[in-house]
């Protein structure tokens, strides 16, 4: 459903060139939980941002549902970002003085979903992540694990086909990290999930597929739980 074809992205700083993505080609299935591992600076976040339509690239093609994005206009990219992609981060990026419900609703500001429907979708998403009874609380009354659940609710409220996660457990203790991973694994049964992590144990325990990056390239791509890997 999603394919990167020979994606190159270079950063020019002064006289030096960093190859953030050095000819990356990879395809993802629907309902796949992919973990991206690799050292700091190897290109993981850049790939996530390219997939999410947040970063432009120098050459290559991003193919969505078999369709090239080469002819995408700004409005097509906006529609893709607002309706097909959900993003979660290590730092939650929530607004502390607002309620859970307001935070999740605000995630749909640019989606074009009518107001009444927005509220219902936000409530449904908060119930889905186990925070139904707390939806009118303020973010600053929550634990870190609960905050990440709110961020996940915000990311899935409009039911995107693709959920992108950049170090979602980076600020959480082991027990809470496992709870969050279980939730993300559950959500991957309905959509493609691609997660950057520095934690190989969590990746191996929960993900279907592990991609290891080094120097802007994919070094290894494996499905550790599958005895007879499909193409
Ligand atoms: P990772 O997520 O694996 O830590 P990144 O994708 O953040 O790696 O970065 C890949 C490479 O691109 C690194 O060398 C990083 O320093 C460089 N880079 C990322 N963003 C920028 C930027 N805005 N300007 C210049 N270099 C950048
Ligand atoms: P991570 O390792 O989690 O990917 P980084 O610290 O590499 O985080 O990058 C954080 C942000 O800083 C990214 O959005 C990236 O675009 C930007 N960045 C990374 N390296 C550089 C750089 N050399 N110059 C400018 N911006 C950079």
Tens digit of pLDDT for each residue in 32-89? 999 999 999 999 999 999 999 999 999 999 999 999 999 999 999 999 999 999 999 9
Expressed in angstroms and rounded, the spacing between residue 10 Cα and the centre of ligand 1 is 9
The answer, yes or no, to whether residue 142 has pLDDT greater than 70, is yes
**Helical residues (DSSP H) of the chain, grouped into ranges:** 44-51, 74-83, 100-106, 115-128, 144-156, 174-187, 200-206
For 194-214, the three-class secondary structure string (H helix, E strand, C coil) is: EEECCCHHHHHHHCCEEEEEE
State the average pLDDT over residues 212-221. Answer: 97
State the average pLDDT over residues 203-212. Answer: 97
**Rounded to an integer, what distance in angstroms lies between the CA atom of residue 155 and that of residue 83?**
10
pLDDT digits (tens, 9 = 90+) for 102-136: 999 999 998 889 999 999 999 999 999 999 999 99
The answer, yes or no, to whether residue 25 has pLDDT greater than 80, is yes
The per-residue pLDDT for 224 is: 87
Q: What atom in ligand 1 is closest to the CA of residue 45?
A: 2
The per-residue pLDDT for 225 is: 83
pTM: 0.90
User: Quick one: which ligand is closest to 37's CA?
Assistant: 1
The answer, yes or no, to whether residue 208 has pLDDT greater than 70, is yes
The per-residue pLDDT for 226 is: 79
Residue 123 DSSP class = H
Ligand 1 neighbours (beta carbon < 6 A): 11, 13, 18, 20, 38, 40-46
Q: Which of 211, 219, 166, 204 is nearest to 46 (CA)?
A: 166
Q: Which residues contact 176 (CB under 8 A, 6 or more apart)?
A: 143, 144, 145, 148, 169
User: Quick one: which ligand is closest to 19's CA?
Assistant: 1
pLDDT digits (tens, 9 = 90+) for 173-195: 999 999 999 999 999 999 999 99
Coil, strand or helix at 147: helix
The per-residue pLDDT for 230 is: 56
State the average pLDDT over residues 198-218. Answer: 97
The answer, yes or no, to whether residue 229 has pLDDT greater than 70, is no
State the average pLDDT over residues 209-225. Answer: 96
Q: What atom in ligand 2 is closest to the CA of residue 55?
A: 16
**Rounded to an integer, what distance in angstroms lies between the CA atom of residue 214 and that of residue 146?**
33
């Amino acid at each position: 459903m999603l394919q990167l074809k020979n994606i190159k992205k270079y950063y020019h700083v002064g006289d030096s060139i960093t190859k953030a993505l050095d000819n990356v080609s990879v395809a993802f299935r629907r309902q796949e939980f992919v973990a991206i591992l690799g050292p700091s600076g190897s290109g993981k976040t850049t790939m996530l941002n390219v997939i999410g339509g947040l970063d432009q690239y120098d050459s290559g093609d991003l193919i969505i549902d078999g369709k090239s994005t080469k002819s995408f206009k700004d409005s097509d990219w906006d529609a893709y970002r607002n309706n097909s992609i959900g993003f979660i981060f290590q730092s939650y990026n929530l607004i502390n003085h607002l309620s859970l419900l307001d935070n999740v609703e605000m995630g749909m500001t640019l989606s074009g979903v009518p107001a009444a429907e927005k509220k219902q979708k936000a409530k449904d998403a908060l119930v889905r992540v186990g925070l139904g009874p707390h939806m009118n609380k303020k973010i600053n009354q929550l634990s870190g694990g609960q905050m990440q659940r709110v961020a996940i609710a915000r990311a899935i409220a409009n039911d995107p086909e693709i959920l992108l996660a950049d170090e979602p457990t980076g600020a959480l203790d082991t027990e809470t990290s496992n709870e969050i991973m279980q939730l993300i694994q559950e959500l991957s049964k309905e959509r493609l999930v691609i997660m950057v992590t520095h934690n190989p144990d969590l990746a191996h325990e929960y993900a279907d597929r592990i991609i290891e990056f080094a120097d802007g390239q994919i070094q290894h791509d494996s499905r550790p739980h599958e005895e007879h890997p499909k193409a």
